Amino acid sequence: MQLRLAVVSALLLTIQGVDAVSSQRVASAGSKSGTGNPWFSLLTKSWALAGESEPDQTKGLDDLAKNIVELAKSGAPDETMVNAVESIRAIVHDMKAAVNDSHALAQQQINQKAKAVASCQVPPHTDSDYLDRAIIHGENSIENVMTCRAEEVPPYDAWKACEAEKARCSNTTECCAALVQPNKYCLNPGTAPSPLPFEATCEGTSRCKDEDVTTKLAFFKEKLAELDAAEKACEDSRKGCKESYDCESLKTIWETQRTWCNRNHTNFEQGYCDLATSLEAKWDSYYHCYDTNFNALYEEEYTQMAQLPGREQEWRALLRIDSLLGALTSSDATKALQACIDKKYTHEDWAHLELMYPTYDASFTPRAHCTEELQEPGTSCLASALTTVLGYRTLQRF
């Protein structure tokens, strides 16, 4: 009898971490055997050990199994021993329930985080007719922009032609010839040839000889002809020229037209910018949602993977203890005890404790990627979409 009580005492001292509801079973056992019994006192004290960590619980259960094997001896159990074993088996049953609850909670936490990942909405692809409906219509249509640009060309060309003609007429090559300098139609006049070198020639000529006079007269007539030819060339180079040019008024007309065209052009491109900004904001929101929740799921899976072996070990220990407790009340305790010792527990005995890890499943939702080409102003994508001058003469940069 004392040996049986020693076995029960060893059982009770090493059971840890059981739900408090099972304490009612202790009271029930005490009412059957009396509060003065040693096993009841030990059973009551065992509840003070509740709340130990999972590794300590598993170690306590393993120690319990060893104590049962060491202390159990053959012999007919009495009523006190039977009541004690029943109470302890009830505690073991509660511990099994606690392990199952822990497993269910672990799977629930994983599933909740997987659900959060799946809840991230992938931005929809832009409708094919969205640009026509929301961007390039009315005043913002490409036709309107191109019409305005076409109307901008004539005043621009007129202003540039005026500036070119003004530049030509104010500085022609012919008017910059040395013989006609200085000349108001030459911006950088050179130095005109000096007549002084001819003075010596004239001074040395005999005034009484017709031949000398005729020769010198012919010389100066030739020089005069050269001067006349140079002046005529200057005048001819300025045919069609005006005395003054009012190019600024033409420039003002063009700048006014350009202001309107730039406004239309900007409004046209702004639609693309707004669309790109909206899409990028949606994708940024999706990426943040997915990455944040995926990282939380990955960490949860890693945590549960680390805790699962301890839970499986605890279940194995509870199975063995339950078997050993049954051996104590068996008609052939020695044989039953040996059967418990020889029993080999495998993964199949706690297969129900397996966890499902969503990220390892082929059906897990992968991270989506934006495949839509955003036609921002200044990009090759917009240039290829618009086979017009607007493709590269963009006014905006996204």
Q: Would residue 377 count as lying in a domain?
A: no
Residues 210, 100 share a domain: no
Residues 118, 26 share a domain: yes
Total domains in the chain come to 2
The pTM for the full model equals 0.61
Q: Would residue 299 count as lying in a domain?
A: no
Domain boundary among 213, 235, 256: 256
Residues 151, 113 share a domain: no
Residues 166, 99 share a domain: no
CA distance 330 to 335: 9
Residue with tokens 């600024």: 248
Q: Would residue 165 count as lying in a domain?
A: yes
Q: Would residue 71 count as lying in a domain?
A: yes
Residue with tokens 């104010």: 170
What SS3 state is found at 315? helix
Domain boundary among 321, 336, 355: 355
Residues 9, 113 share a domain: yes
Q: Would residue 79 count as lying in a domain?
A: yes
Residues 6, 80 share a domain: yes
pLDDT of residue 395: 52
Q: Up-side HSE of residue 116: CA atoms within 13 Å toward CB?
A: 19
Radius of gyration, CA atoms only, the chain: 53
CA distance 215 to 318: 143
pLDDT of residue 54: 59
The tokens of 160 are what? 């540039």
Q: Say how many C-beta atoms besides its own lie within 10 A of residue 208's C-beta.
A: 7
pLDDT of residue 49: 33
pLDDT of residue 119: 96
Residues 148, 109 share a domain: no
Q: Would residue 131 count as lying in a domain?
A: no
Residues 179, 93 share a domain: no
pLDDT in tens, the chain (398 residues): 443 444 444 444 444 433 333 444 444 444 444 444 433 433 443 343 344 555 665 666 666 666 555 555 544 555 666 776 787 788 888 889 999 999 999 999 999 999 999 999 999 988 877 776 766 666 677 778 888 888 989 999 999 999 988 888 877 777 788 777 787 777 777 676 766 666 666 665 556 566 767 777 777 788 788 777 777 877 877 788 888 889 999 999 999 999 988 888 888 888 778 888 888 999 999 999 999 999 999 999 999 999 999 899 889 888 888 888 787 777 777 788 788 888 888 889 999 999 999 999 999 999 999 888 766 666 666 666 665 545 445 454 43
Residues 149, 103 share a domain: no
Domain boundary among 214, 231, 256: 256
The tokens of 206 are what? 């005999």
Q: What is the amino acid identity at position 149?
A: R
Q: Say how many C-beta atoms besides its own lie within 10 A of residue 271's C-beta.
A: 18
pLDDT of residue 29: 44
pLDDT of residue 249: 95
Whether the Cβ atoms of residue 204 and residue 188 lie closer than 8 Å to each other: no
- Domain of residue 83: give its range: 2-122+307-355
State the greatest distance between any 2 C-alpha atoms of the chain, in Å, as a whole number: 178
Residues 338, 227 share a domain: no
Q: Would residue 92 count as lying in a domain?
A: yes
Residues 111, 164 share a domain: no
Residues 180, 250 share a domain: yes
**Rounded to a whole number, what is the distance in angstroms from the first to the last CA of the chain?**
91
What SS3 state is found at 128? coil
Whether the Cβ atoms of residue 68 and residue 62 lie closer than 8 Å to each other: no
Q: Would residue 95 count as lying in a domain?
A: yes
